[in-house]
C-alpha cells in the first residue's frame, strides 16, 4: 500500500507535459474528455460524468492498492488536464500496459508519444516490468502510430476481460531489452 503523501509527490515532467497521480479535482477534465464520442470511441465509449467519476476512483484506488495506474496528464504551457496515460494492469488484463487517452483538442501534437515515453521509462525503472503492451483496436490507426513511434510492434490479436471480452483488439508491445536498446544513447 502506498501512502497519500508519497503519491502527492510523484510527478514526472517532460518538455511539454506534467504527469501526476490523479486527484478528484481532475474530474471535470476527465468527464469532458469521456463525453466526446470521438475521443472515447476506443476507450470504452462515451461515459456520463457519474461513470467517469467511477473510472477516476478506480485509477486513484489502483495507485493506492498497487502503487501504479495511469497518470493525469497536463499541458505545461496552459496547466490544462489533457488526458490520462501510463501504466495499467487490471485483473485479467493481457499484460502490463502503457496506455493513453488524450482529449481530442490536443490530438496531433505528439503528446501521447511524449507522455507514454516518460511513463514507460518510469514503469521499467520503478515497477521492474520486463515487457509492456498496448491493447489497440484494429481500427484505431492513430494509436497504432503512437505504438510504432514507441518502438512497439503488433504481436497479434488479444482478448480483454469482461466487460470488454467482445471488443476486437490487437496486442502491441515490446520487451524491456528492446525498449532500452531503442532509447540507449548512441
What is the CB neighbour count within 10 angstroms for residue 155?
A: 16
Residue 6's pLDDT is 75
Residues pairing with 18 in the sheet: 13, 74
Phi (first) and psi of residue 163, to 5 degrees: -95, 15
Residue 186's pLDDT is 45
Positions of the chain with pLDDT lower than 50, given as ranges = 1, 186
Total-model pTM: 0.93
- Specify the residue for cell string 499484460: 95
Closest CA to 88 of 179, 5, 167, 161: 161
Residue 182's pLDDT is 83
Q: Three-state SS for 109?
A: coil
What is the CB neighbour count within 10 angstroms for residue 39?
A: 20
Q: What is the pLDDT of residues 141-172, one digit of tens each?
A: 999 999 999 999 999 999 999 999 999 999 99
Check residue 122 and report its DSSP letter.
H
Closest CA to 46 of 55, 37, 33, 56: 37
Q: How far is CA 117 from the centre of its chain?
A: 11
Q: Three-state SS for 184?
A: coil
* 82's grid cell: 489533457
**Cα 172 from Cα 134, distance rounded (Å):** 5
| Domains assigned to the chain | 4-183 (3.40.630.30)
Amino acid at each position: 500500500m502506498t501512502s497519500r503523501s508519497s503519491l502527492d509527490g510523484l510527478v514526472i515532467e517532460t518538455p511539454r507535459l506534467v504527469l501526476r497521480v490523479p486527484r478528484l479535482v481532475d474530474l471535470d477534465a476527465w468527464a469532458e474528455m469521456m463525453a466526446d464520442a470521438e475521443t472515447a470511441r476506443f476507450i470504452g465509449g462515451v461515459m456520463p460524468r457519474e461513470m467517469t467519476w467511477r473510472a477516476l476512483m478506480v485509477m486513484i484506488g489502483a495507485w493506492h492498492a498497487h502503487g501504479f495506474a495511469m497518470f493525469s496528464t497536463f499541458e505545461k504551457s496552459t496547466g490544462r488536464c489533457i488526458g490520462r496515460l501510463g501504466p495499467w494492469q487490471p485483473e485479467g488484463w493481457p499484460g502490463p500496459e502503457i496506455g493513453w487517452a488524450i482529449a481530442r483538442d490536443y490530438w496531433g501534437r505528439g503528446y501521447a508519444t511524449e507522455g507514454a515515453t516518460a511513463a514507460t521509462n518510469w514503469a521499467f525503472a520503478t515497477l521492474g516490468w520486463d515487457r509492456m503492451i498496448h491493447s489497440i483496436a484494429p481500427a484505431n490507426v492513430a494509436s497504432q502510430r503512437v505504438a510504432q513511434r514507441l518502438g512497439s510492434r503488433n504481436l497479434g490479436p488479444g482478448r480483454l476481460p469482461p466487460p470488454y471480452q467482445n471488443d476486437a483488439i490487437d496486442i502491441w508491445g515490446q520487451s524491456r531489452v528492446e525498449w532500452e536498446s531503442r532509447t540507449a544513447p548512441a
